[in-house]
Amino acid sequence: MHMSSVTLEPPRKAWQLWLGYAVMIAVTIGLFMVIRSFGERLTPATAEAAAASGAAAGHAKGQPLMHVLLALLAIILAGRWLGKLFGLVHQPRVIGEMVAGIMLGPSFLGQVSPAAMNFILPADIAPYLGIVSQIGVILYMFLVGLELNGSILRSQAHASVAISHASIVAPFLLGTTLALWLFPVLSPGDVPFTSFALFMGVAMSITAFPVLARILTDRKIDKTELGVLAISCAATDDVTAWCLLAFVVGVAQSKVGGAVQTILLAVVYIAIMLLAVRPLAVRYFGRGARTYPASRMAVWVLVALLMSATAAEWIGIHAIFGAFLLGAVIPHDSAVARDFRHKLEDIVQILLLPAFFAYTGMRTQIGLVSGAQAWAICAVIILVATLGKFGGTLVAARCTGLNWRMSSALGVLMNTRGLMELVVLNIGLELGVISPTLFAMMVIMALATTLATTPILHLLNEPAKNP
């Protein structure tokens, strides 16, 4: 029997789900305050002397454009080849592109041929490549927002909200608890424990919605009961996680008073987007709306995208959140959404995102994870991340009426992190919330959890096909 034919057990009553949800949130806040009370007494680790952006020692010698173009050429070709290689073992192509970016940096090419790395990715081009990569990620997050299907979220509202939030709460609590151990060892020297713990909690809670959708499509289960529920849970997870990340960025970038101001401005901004911008988007872009010339609509959507990203950056919650939120308020099945996906998808995924992978590769120094103790810490991070995501999803799915096989498969899918995790980690490194060593460990965790998704899902699915 195929997994798509597995039926749900009788669902719990709505009031039971909401009561359990309220208790879950209250317990989470209480436990975090307990963890924070212990963590604030800890002494932070000594600040690492090496800056991630200074990993490469080469110089562009007055030709930054040539080296940026060369870096893009190298990462596109390497990503294409490795993507095909990973595709042979049924892994998403984006995994190969992520690995290609790391291999071009100090972790691999810098060890094999420092001269070649310094020629392809000299340290001087990091600011230029960083700007290109940030534009790529802003456009990518806008496309991710456009993919959100509100009707699917509404049809699975009770189950998806409960499951996705449990899959955030469990890893969040485990991540903040793990911060008690990591803070004295791997934190930057000047970061408060609260910012460090909050970031670790959010970083453990991420699910890669686009990668998960690609896995479901490749396995032709995106229209099944499991596929629809997984997509709706991942979408809800993304929205919640990015709101939490905006909160963490606000806390990390401000003092206590400034953090409160940032949070209040963020709440006002989100309210304006949902209560004012979304109705306008539905009116002008939704079904039955008057048809306008595509070029005219494209101009105004891009203007709105830049305004939203700028507003989010000014508030202090990062431009990518503004891009994501604007995409989310535009009807996903509108002509404008389809037109933008058609026009932007290839440019963003083939040209601009590879710049982000190369930039991440420049900042990732796997060599910093050296010695048995460091690799043991890395293994614990992977274990805690997996237990939190898989365990939280599994328990919540069972409580909402799913059987064990469906719950396990959903837990495996929600443990997919991929590109979204790299975006979050780069934000943490830029803010100085995590150290280069911890950044490298978390990058390894993102790769490991994403690589494990397809083979484990295959093992779970095979018995269902051959009872």
CB 443: neighbour CB atoms within 10 A? Answer: 27
pLDDT at 287 over 70: no
The amino acid at residue 139 is L
Q: How confident is the model at residue 177 (pLDDT cuts 50, 70, 90)?
A: very high
Rounded to an integer, the average pLDDT of 2-28 is 62
Q: Is 88 exposed, middle or buried (0-12, 13-18, 19+ CB in 10 A)?
A: exposed
Q: How confident is the model at residue 441 (pLDDT cuts 50, 70, 90)?
A: very high
CB 46: neighbour CB atoms within 10 A? Answer: 12
- What pLDDT shows up at residue 15? 66
239 vs 395 pLDDT, higher one: 395
Residue-wise pLDDT tens digits, 29-51: 888 889 988 888 887 776 554 44
CB 37: neighbour CB atoms within 10 A? Answer: 10
Q: What percent of the chain has pLDDT over 90?
A: 14
User: Can you tell me the distance from the alpha carbon of 172 to that of 207, in angstroms, rounded to the nearest whole number?
Assistant: 12
pLDDT at 262 over 50: yes
153 vs 348 pLDDT, higher one: 348
Rounded to an integer, the average pLDDT of 382-389 is 93
The amino acid at residue 245 is L
Q: If you average pLDDT over each of 127-136, 172-181, 357-366, which comes out highest?
A: 172-181
- What pLDDT shows up at residue 5? 43
User: Can you tell me the distance from the alpha carbon of 107 to that of 125, in angstroms, rounded to the nearest whole number?
Assistant: 18
User: Can you tell me the distance from the alpha carbon of 67 to that of 123, in angstroms, rounded to the nearest whole number?
Assistant: 10
User: Can you tell me the distance from the alpha carbon of 363 to that of 366, in angstroms, rounded to the nearest whole number?
Assistant: 10
pLDDT at 344 over 70: yes
Instruction: Give the CA count within 13 Å in the CB-facing half-sphere of 333.
Output: 6
Residue-wise pLDDT tens digits, 235-258: 777 777 777 787 787 777 665 456
Q: How confident is the model at residue 295 (pLDDT cuts 50, 70, 90)?
A: low
131 vs 220 pLDDT, higher one: 131
- What pLDDT shows up at residue 62? 60
User: Can you tell me the distance from the alpha carbon of 249 to that of 253, in angstroms, rounded to the nearest whole number?
Assistant: 6
- What pLDDT shows up at residue 179? 93
417 vs 51 pLDDT, higher one: 417
pLDDT at 308 over 80: yes
Q: Which of 53-67, 121-135, 274-288, 426-440 has the lowest mean pLDDT?
A: 53-67
- What pLDDT shows up at residue 357? 86
Q: How confident is the model at residue 290 (pLDDT cuts 50, 70, 90)?
A: low
- What pLDDT shows up at residue 448? 92
Q: Which two tokens stand for residue 148?
A: 């959100």
Q: Which two tokens stand for residue 169?
A: 């709460």
Nearest C-alpha neighbor of 315 from the set 236, 239, 260: 260
pLDDT at 294 over 80: no
Mean pLDDT of the residues in the chain:
81
Q: Which of 57-61, 126-130, 321-325, 463-467 has the lowest mean pLDDT?
A: 463-467
pTM of the model: 0.81
Q: Which of 216-225, 243-252, 453-462 has the lowest mean pLDDT?
A: 216-225
User: Can you tell me the distance from the alpha carbon of 52 to that of 440, in angstroms, rounded to the nearest whole number?
Assistant: 10
User: Can you tell me the distance from the alpha carbon of 26 to that of 220, in angstroms, rounded to the nearest whole number?
Assistant: 39
- What pLDDT shows up at residue 13? 58
User: Can you tell me the distance from the alpha carbon of 321 to that of 302, in angstroms, rounded to the nearest whole number?
Assistant: 15
- What pLDDT shows up at residue 226? 79
pLDDT at 444 over 90: yes
Q: Is 316 exposed, middle or buried (0-12, 13-18, 19+ CB in 10 A)?
A: buried
User: Can you tell me the distance from the alpha carbon of 52 to that of 271, in angstroms, rounded to the nearest whole number?
Assistant: 36
Q: Which two tokens stand for residue 332?
A: 């996903």
- What pLDDT shows up at residue 178? 94
Each domain of the chain, given as residue ranges in start order, spans 51-465
Which CATH architecture best describes the domain 51-465?
Up-down Bundle (1.20)
pLDDT at 386 over 90: yes
Q: What percent of the chain has pLDDT over 70?
A: 84
Task: Give DSSP secondary structure letters for 148-177.
Answer: --HHHHHHTHHHHHHHHHHHHHHHHHHHHH
- Contacts of 112 by beta carbon, 8 Å cutoff, 6+ apart: none
- What pLDDT shows up at residue 457? 83
Nearest C-alpha neighbor of 160 from the set 410, 328, 421, 408: 410
181 vs 147 pLDDT, higher one: 181
Q: Is the dihedral of CA 431, 182, 184, 50 positive or negative?
A: negative
- What pLDDT shows up at residue 8? 43
347 vs 250 pLDDT, higher one: 347
